Amino acid sequence: MQAVQARAERMVYTTEGVKQVWHVWGREHAHPVVLLHGGSGSWTHWVRNIPALAQNHAVWAMDLPGMGDSDLPPQAKDADDIAPWVAKGMAHWLNDQACALMGFSFGGLTAGFVAAQHPEIVSRLLLVGVPGLGLFVDPLPLRGFQANMTAELREAVNRHNLMAIMLAHEASLTAQTLEIQEANVVRDRLRKRRIARSTIMLELQKQWRCPVHVLWGAKDALYEAHLDTAEQRLMDCDLRDITLLADTGHWANYENDRAFNAWALKQLASPL
């Protein structure tokens, strides 16, 4: 992770007193792609994807408002509240140029709002493990943190939660995975999120004006039971591709990064 971070330019944009932190790789390339991470995350959700993407693309990875190193905007509680701030950042850094927008999980939900509200700045939408389509299973048994927990107890909570939601295989839960999780969850200030369990994307898709590419891990604990109906729920957009990565959990871009990177590069190179 440190090697990827060392190659990044850390960019700060402050608007209306709210700081956004972005990291960019391959800025010299002509084809930008913006990455929006998942809930309780940061740009590090993409650490295994950035080197592959940055070979031919300018990769702009944002810490979503209220997560990572970015400030929480006033009164912001969910994806609909932060989407306008994301759009401001994209317009600022990319000079209103339309670009590919890729979102993982909660970041995909946020991307759906951005593409609906500001279609002029989104040339292609790539959604990974995306919520908001009514595919959710019953709530999964997550564990919470308590004050004064030891490092060992915090690690046990992180291990449990990663295996409950994010990953399909114990072998995927490495020291790096735990480092990413711990660094991210302590900085999550957007804690009232509820829209992910709605069907809001069924309406938002009607406002998208770009090609749409969608991927889930076939063993995604959040959606596995209903993925056979996913394509039917995306009939009101320009859906170009829907892919299920075999033997892969929710955090597909991390757990099965080689297959994911091949998929992402193929979609980014496809005709608009």
- pLDDT, tens digit (0-9, with 9 covering 90-100), for 94-106: 999 999 999 999 9
- Which pLDDT band, with edges at 50, 70 and 90, does 3 fall under? very high
Residue 111, by phi and psi: left (phi above 0), alpha (psi -120 to 50) or beta? alpha
Q: pLDDT confidence of 192, banded at 50, 70, 90?
A: confident
In this predicted structure, what is the pLDDT of residue 138? 86
- Whole-number pLDDT of residue 137: 87
pLDDT at residue 178 in the model: 97
The band of 11, judged by pLDDT with boundaries at 50, 70 and 90, is: very high
Q: What is the pLDDT of residue 141?
A: 87
Supply the pTM of this predicted model.
Answer: 0.98
How confident is residue 154, by pLDDT bands cut at 50, 70 and 90?
A: very high
Mean pLDDT value across residues 122-149:
93
- 96 secondary structure, DSSP code: T
The pair of structure tokens assigned to 262 is 């091949």
Q: Which residues are registered as beta bridge partners of 243? A: 215
Identity at 271, one-letter amino acid code? P
pLDDT for position 1: 86
Please, what CATH class does the domain formed by 2-269 belong to? alpha beta
For the chain, how many helices (H) and strands (E)? Answer: 9, 8
Closest CA to 266 of 206, 204, 211, 208: 211
pLDDT score recorded for residue 226: 96
pLDDT at 191 over 90: no
Angle between helices 175-185 and 151-161 (to 10 degrees): 100
DSSP designation for 196:
G
Per-residue pLDDT, 140: 86
With 0-12 / 13-18 / 19 or more C-beta atoms within 10 angstroms meaning exposed / middle / buried, residue 120 is: exposed
Q: What is the pLDDT of residue 143?
A: 93
> What's the whole-number mean pLDDT along residues 10-38?
97
With residue 240 as reference, give the H or E element that holds it. strand 238-245
Give the model's pLDDT for residue 261: 98
The CA distance from 224 to 49, in Å, is 23
Predicted pLDDT of residue 133: 97
Identify the burial level of 248 via C-beta atoms within 10 angstroms of its C-beta, where 0-12 means exposed, 13-18 middle and 19 or more buried.
buried
Mean pLDDT score across all residues of the chain: 96
Q: What is the pLDDT of residue 139?
A: 83
pLDDT digits (tens, 9 = 90+) for 56-95: 999 999 999 999 999 999 999 999 999 999 999 999 999 9
Q: Which residue has the tokens 């308590």?
A: 146
